[in-house]
Structure 1
Amino acid sequence: MSSPPPETPNLRIVWDVGRLSEWSRLLAECGQSTLTQGFGYSQAFYTTERWRPRLGIIELADNPVGLVVVTEKRIAKLIRLVRLHRGPLLLPVARKPAVFAMVMKLLRQEYRPSPFCWTALVPEWPAGEEAEAMMRWAGWRRDKGPGYRTIWLDLRQDEAALRAGLAANWRNKLKQAENSGLVVEIDRDGKQQLPWLLEQYQADKAARGYRGPSPQLVIRMRTGMHKDGDILLLRAKQDGVPVAGILVLGHGKAATYQIGWSSAAGRSARAHNLLLWRAVQELKTQGREWFDLGGLLPDSPSGFTTFKRGMGGEEVELVGAWR
């Protein structure tokens, strides 16, 4: 890709303008939005890690067609660190290679490489030769490491279709869980059950050595997001004893699986299958259209990638890391 992409007249990024309501509206209109491009995550990340969010509204011929949130941090008031994770987000009508390429070029112009500006990007665009060429045309250099991978579940399907789309083994385990006597509690605020889940999750993460968000970040996200109805915590009990729990975070018309935990008894009863299925039902009731199953990491607990794939969604690999 050596020449300017076509069909991108009057494309620009307008920085640091507008209201939170406009941000939220655009996030919802993007449909398949990502957690890291939402206000709740951005504010929580700033509070815990001191990365300041900067919002850009993407306009085409003066009409908003997407958004991008970058985070910035200063080192010794001299070096500017810039991160973009799983953005930009474009409205479906603007989700075209030419638009994406030009947005990435505008971002490169905004954050020109220098000894005093260090950038790290994981763009929200599928991997492939065309995507790599667009990134290089826009002025970005490939960084080391594989592309981010996740699984998207399309909640616009009816419940019968979603259940039919489950892998046979996954569906059989769900039936076992439904017949096991497990009781599922739903907490749409997180105030009561989140401290319990974080305690279990942190101990499990330390014991099994996988990556995941810090408890501090999760607590801040809950604080900033619960008033908008974006918290969904489900807990399974067996004979009155909690045996598993999951936390799902909403953002616009989408939601993301964030953290989970299961005891040996919970695993035996297939509690996670039941909790994820109940989460799907609840998200559909809320009007969510997409469920991001939270990433496929190489150091995830054994079998968890297979478990996520069993839900029947579409596996996507992003274009990778750039600088």
Structure 2
Amino acid sequence: MNAISIERTTHELAGAYSVEVDNVPDQEWDRIAGDFADINPEQTACYSGLHWKGRDSHILLRRDGKAVAGARVALVSLPVMGRGLAFLRFGPFWRRQVTAADPEIYRAMIAALVQEYCVSRGHCLTVLARPHPQYHALECGWLRDLGFAQRRKYDDPERYLVNTALDENARRQSLAQKWRYALRQALANSLDVRVTEDPGEIDAFQNLYVSMMERKQFSSTTPVHLTGKLIANLPEKLKPKLVVACHEGKLVAGATVGLFGDTAYYMFGATSADALPLKAGYALHWWISQWLHSQGFQWYDLGGASHEPGLRQFKKQFVGKAGQIVTMEGEYERWTTSLSRLSADVVFGVRHFKRRIRHGAKFGAATGAKS
């Protein structure tokens, strides 16, 4: 599958909106993105560029000269045909911080995406809405109103969000009884949990993830190797934190936590064989929830469960009574020609085949939270 050549453009949309296509420098993009409450790691230039290796495109929407929405889209085209898929994952971002949400901006952003990727480039546009407790269902409804069709359910639809706006006592009361009991055991084990930006500890965490995959005989496409680059290159407002748990000076568990808008994301996690008897995962994630509360974050998104019953139980019990489990509706699509739709079907067919292979190998992208 080939990368698509990108033409840099700026043009006017109806009304007071203007659209910039592939002409915003990466550092400027991430600086702008930091002003939005609904920015997601995958919508940053730093993550998208590294993960998609240059196969991404972007659109910035301005109103009266001010940036009001943006989206980074992965492009996958079929050889010879030149048509394929424009995939928008967990976007667009359109809600500026400390500003009332305006659905008109969302609709204008989607219109710009359809014009650029469906009409001008001839692709099928696929949108996977961000799993937010308040806005996921709203955005999916707006997509349907705008002519998008839900053609595929999401493979791992449940997203587990801890309510970190609660104070410590309320969060403890929210926990399931078994999770609260395991937490008491973990806290009795004198684990040293802290944030680190030390390059040596970042390398050790990334190596720990590789060792965990080998120990559990899992196959993973999780880009944990990006941890150091994201910490080094994202602006301060969006810079992830690496939280590590050590026992007697030895690293036993760690998590890369993305800090984006009103939500923090459990991006990558790793544990050693020693973590399970120490209940290190409980101490690690409880510490993270405490720290996020002190920083004013509303939600801690733990991600999905990757079809693993033990991981699902851990996350569900941690979310507890006061958190939210958002069931994602699936991928919504727009296309202008039957060839565009057929091309996207081929791309997704390949994706499904690869996922089945990984499932057979006990694929576990988010493994490591429970230990």
TM-score, normalising length: structure 1: 0.77
Q: Is the 8 A contact 1:231 1:247 kept in 2?
A: yes
Gaps of 5+ in 2: 1-13, 334-371
Q: Provide the C-alpha distance between the structure 2 equivalents of 1:115 and 1:182, rounded to a whole number of angstroms.
A: 54
State the partner residue of 1:5.
Answer: none
Counterpart-to-counterpart distance in 2, 1:157 and 1:58? 35
Note closer, same or farther for the CA distance 1:236–1:101 as it changes in structure 2 (3 Å cut).
same
Determine the structure 2 residue equivalent to 1:280: 289
Give the superposition deviation at 1:321. Answer: 0.8
User: Quick check: 2:58–2:70 contact (8 Å CA) kept in 1?
Assistant: no
Pick which of 212-221 and 197-206 moved more: 212-221
User: 1:3 — aligned with what?
Assistant: none
> Aligned equivalents of 2:120 and 2:22: distance in 1?
23
Task: Specify the alignment match of 1:293 in structure 2.
Answer: 301
Q: Map of 1:196-235 to 2, 5 A cutoff? A: 196-206=204-214, 207-209=216-218, 211-225=220-234, 230-235=239-244
| Alignment deviations for residues 84-126 of structure 1 (CA, whole Å, 9 cap, x no partner) | 1101123275545565345323322222269952433212365
The structure 1 residue matched to 2:147, chosen from 139, 149, 173, is: 139
Change (3 A) 1:132 1:179: closer
- 2:94 aligns with one of 84, 90, 94: 90
Q: Would you say the 8 A contact 2:51–2:223 is kept in 1?
A: no
Compared CA separation, residues 226 and 190, structure 1 to 2 (3 A): farther
The count of aligned residue pairs is: 309
Bigger drift between 31-40 and 89-98 goes to 89-98
1:34 aligns to what? 40
Change in CA separation of 1:271 and 1:38 when aligned onto 2, cut-off 3 Å: same
% identical aligned pairs: 20
Partner amino acid, structure 1, of 2:203? P
RMSD: 3.5
Partner of 1:67: 70
Query: Within 2, Cα distance between the matches of 1:145 and 1:113?
Result: 25
Query: Which whole-Å deviations, capped at 9, do the CAs of 1:9-56 have from their partners, x for residues lacking one?
Result: 75665445667787556544432432112233223224xx33234142
**For 2:118, what is the secondary structure of its paired residue?**
coil
- Paired residue secondary structure (2:48): helix
- With normalisation by structure 2, the TM-score equals 0.69
**Which residue of the partner structure matches residue 122 of structure 1?**
128
The code of the aligned residue for 1:71 comes to A
Query: Is 170-179 or 311-320 further displaced after alignment?
Result: 311-320
2:171 is matched by which residue type in structure 1? L
Match of 1:186 in 2: 195
* Mean CA deviation greater in 19-28 or 134-143: 19-28
- Residue 76 of structure 1 and its aligned partner are, at CA, apart by 5.4
- Deviation per CA, 1:148-185, whole angstroms, max 9, x where unpaired? 43233343333333333322322222221111122224
- Give the superposition deviation at 1:259: 1.6
